[in-house]
Amino acid sequence: MKAVILAGGFGTRLRPLTCTVPKPMAKLLGRPVLSYILELLRAHGATDVTLTTAYMPEVIAEYIDAYPKQDMHLRCVEEAQPLGTAGSVKAALGDEKEPILIVSGDGFCDFDFTKILTYHREKGAAVTIVTTEVQDPREYGLVHTDASGAVIGFCEKPDWNGVSTSCANTGIYVLEPEILEYIPEKQSFDFSKDLFPMLLRKKLPIFGCLAEGYWCDIGDLTAYRTCQADMLAGKVRLPRRAVASGVYAEETLPEGEYQLVPPVCIGKDVVIGTGAVIGPNTVIGDGSYIGKGAKICESVLLQNTAVYDKAVVNQAVICENTVLKYGAQVFEESAVGADCVIGSHACVGPQACIWPKKYIANGTHVSGNLKYGVSRTELFSDNGICGLSGVELDPVRLSLLGRSIASSAIGKKIGIAADSACAGHAAYHILAGAMAVQGSSVWNFGECLLPQLYFYTAFCSLQSGIYISERGGRLRLQLFCAGGLPLPRSVQREIEARFHGGDFYRISPDGAKEISDMESLEAVYLRELVREAGTSLEGQQISVRCPNEKINMLLEDCLYRLETQSGDEITLKLNYDGTQVSAFHRECGWIPHDKLMAICCQAEFESGRDVAVAFDAPFALTAMAAVHGRRAIRYLHTPADDSDRDARRLALEQLYVRDALFLSIRLLGVLQRSGKSLPALLQSVPQFFVRRRTVPIKFSPTELLEVLHSPNAVPQKEGVLLENENGRVLLVPQKSGKKLRIFAESASYETACELCGDIEEKLAGH
């Protein structure tokens, strides 16, 4: 068997552990991950193994030189330049004649490689992608297969609303040798992002093999600890030497009067003091010292660590050669890098990371990261970044958030604004200052409406915008791309990673930038709002109702300039944010936002233009567009790829889809130009009704198709669509994965309610 181990990863999310060793050399129960991979390959007959290296290649090369090779040929190939996963394999191999097994050095498994190769041959596959089922698919590349196992599509790290399978790509592949010809020479090329989608388009036979056994992507420090706990719990088919029930050691246990709470693993030459308590789910590395009365629980201590008397380590990772002095404490989800000293009675709080070679003074309390780190906490909810002012979003966290945004893909040129609340203004100044110090070009639009900031970011060609509002002491930060378009999932993940890891761009001392004052642009917004009508509105009698007085004043000023009269022929009612509007007419009562949008879209289609709408906009718009030979193209809420780029480009020119003020004026312009009444225009669009509900769910979103158990359920880019003769229902999980949004649409309101009720009843049974 010919095998390649991808051992070039930087392991950034495992820092500070990987500051001193490459990821494949991180130790599991005292041995490098790489040693387990090599043993598994040897057990399944691998005779020729190539390792591709990039980060700390000399450490891996030194290990391979000393490794007992016996009947297995091993060699390392260092990447001269970053070539991606596929590119590095291409560069490392020659003229191959047999299938090649590719194994990621980032993961740990006990899969049956022989069985996988047999599956590959039986299927006649050009490529076999080894998959496994995972509980939370959002952190993985997902593989969609049909009933025969043939791969039909991929999705890279989606949000819950884009999840429709739990089969994750393990980074283990079998390739026929001719597949190497599809990989370009000397350029960055990735298996999952580049090669496999290309082969799928060329209709080559790619199969997914759902492997049996254990697999763990050791992507962060939590996974690193969990993997070792699983090994201790017997979830992995690997030989372990037990000296007592649930107690594993390479040699006899240290002498002394201490307590071990199984399962635990104790390395060589370990000294344990009287009264110490170790375990459960704890690994103590070779040459370590545990003092009297120390307590170590659900933690990993690497070689030559010293935990002195009365010190406490709980659910943490302590790297090699680190010392915890008398009474020091390290708490949940924290990590201390190599060669650190944690002073007497010092405390490293939850979710903190201490970089290597740091000294924490006696009695010091560390509540954050000294330099870098990781955290699994998600910043973004469906409503943006939210939290109590001064608590979840205190000045320190706001400053970190500002630096994280400035260091991200959207942070070079960004607009910021706030509502009228004092807390929002304070948060606004902290964020703006932090971003400017970090080198961002910050455009200050001051106090304005959310839709106004949508307009300003598009008008000024900015990358993104941040709108800060406050209600009842709770701050809400809404981040979006130019024109109010939602942020891609990749950008959200990057901001979250930088926030929790303290991973910011480093700029020169004079790299800070001035904050540009753009508060005078409100006149431009009003001018463009007037232009949206496209004609004078003379003769129309309009009144405006909104709980936000600023919106009332702005719309009334606009209507005055358009020569309308104050009256109740049409009453426009907007929500506080200015993102939704309904209209009242005495002949037909209240007309909801969806139908007002449909009237405006109908006018666009009749004029020969397409419209870009949100992914969950009514499906009736698509049918209306088709009648006129046009399209209603949809942009996603949290896209995991760039498949909606055309919709986003068009959406930048159509602010009325997201701005209820622009929609209101456009609607009145359509009325004026058509010469028809609002009831008449309403009659000209197809009859449809939408029922929206958000309900809690007790199952994982990956099980949604199974719960629905319907042949009509079709996975979408976001959510699942059910369609029958009565209408359509779109089901979209929220970001938390704990609630489900239901969009039921039909030709009658009663049927839409019934469709929604049927789904709620089915979900309640699970």
Q: How far apart are CA 57 and CA 67, in angstroms?
A: 15
- The Cα-based distances of 605 to 521, 600, 608 in angstroms read 31, 9, 5
For residue 597, give the nearest of 610, 580, 584, 585 by alpha carbon. 580
The phi, psi pair for 490, rounded to 5°, reads -60, -35
Q: Which amino acid makes up residue 707?
A: V
Evaluated on CA atoms 754, 755, 757, 761, the torsion sign reads positive
> What pLDDT does residue 333 have?
92
Residues of the chain predicted below pLDDT 50: 372-377
Give 100's Cβ-side CA count (13 Å radius). Answer: 22
Evaluated on CA atoms 164, 165, 170, 173, the torsion sign reads negative
Q: Are 167 and 143 in contact (CB under 8 A)?
A: yes
Give 335's Cβ-side CA count (13 Å radius). Answer: 29
> What pLDDT does residue 435 have?
95
Q: Are 309 and 276 in contact (CB under 8 A)?
A: no
Name the 3-class secondary structure at 252.
coil
Beta-ladder partners of 385: 477
Q: Are 23 and 10 in contact (CB under 8 A)?
A: yes
Domains of the chain: 2-217 (3.90.550.10), 242-366 (2.160.10.10), 385-516 (3.40.120.10), 532-680 (no CATH), 689-764 (3.30.310.50)
Structure tokens at 647: 């919709």
Q: DSSP letter at 351?
A: T
Q: Please, what is the end-to-end C-alpha distance for the chain in angstroms?
A: 46
Beta-ladder partners of 393: 389
Q: How far apart are CA 458 and CA 653, in angstroms?
A: 8
Q: Helix 522-531 vs helix 450-459: angle between axes, to the nearest 10 degrees?
A: 90
In residues, how long is the chain? 766
Strands (DSSP E) found in 659-759: 689-696, 713-715, 720-724, 727-733, 739-746
Q: Among all chains, which residue has been given the structure tokens 């596959």?
A: 125
Strands (DSSP E) found in 403-553: 413-418, 441-447, 464-471, 474-481, 516-517, 541-545
Q: How far apart are CA 145 and CA 164, in angstroms?
A: 11
Helix, strand and coil content of the chain, in percent to the nearest 5, comes to: 30, 30, 40
Q: Give the CA radius of gyration of the chain.
A: 30
Q: How far apart are CA 92 and CA 90, in angstroms?
A: 6
- The Cα-based distances of 188 to 79, 86, 656 in angstroms read 11, 8, 41
Span 513-531, pLDDT tens digits: 999 999 889 899 999 999 9
Listed in sequence order, the residues at least 6 apart from 30 whose beta carbon sits closer than 8 Å to its beta carbon are 250, 265, 267, 283, 285, 286, 303
> What pLDDT does residue 70 have?
80
| 738-217-127-70 Cα dihedral, nearest 10 degrees | -160
> What pLDDT does residue 262 have?
94
Q: Among all chains, which residue has been given the structure tokens 């945004």?
A: 405
Q: How far apart are CA 458 and CA 650, in angstroms?
A: 12
Q: Are 479 and 638 in contact (CB under 8 A)?
A: no
| Burial (CB count within 10 angstroms: exposed 0-12, middle 13-18, buried 19+), residue 438 | buried
Span 407-465, pLDDT tens digits: 999 999 999 999 999 988 999 999 999 999 999 999 999 999 999 999 999 999 999 99
The H-or-E segment that residue 183 falls in is: none
Q: Among all chains, which residue has been given the structure tokens 């609630």?
A: 739
Give the predicted TM-score (pTM) of the model.
0.69
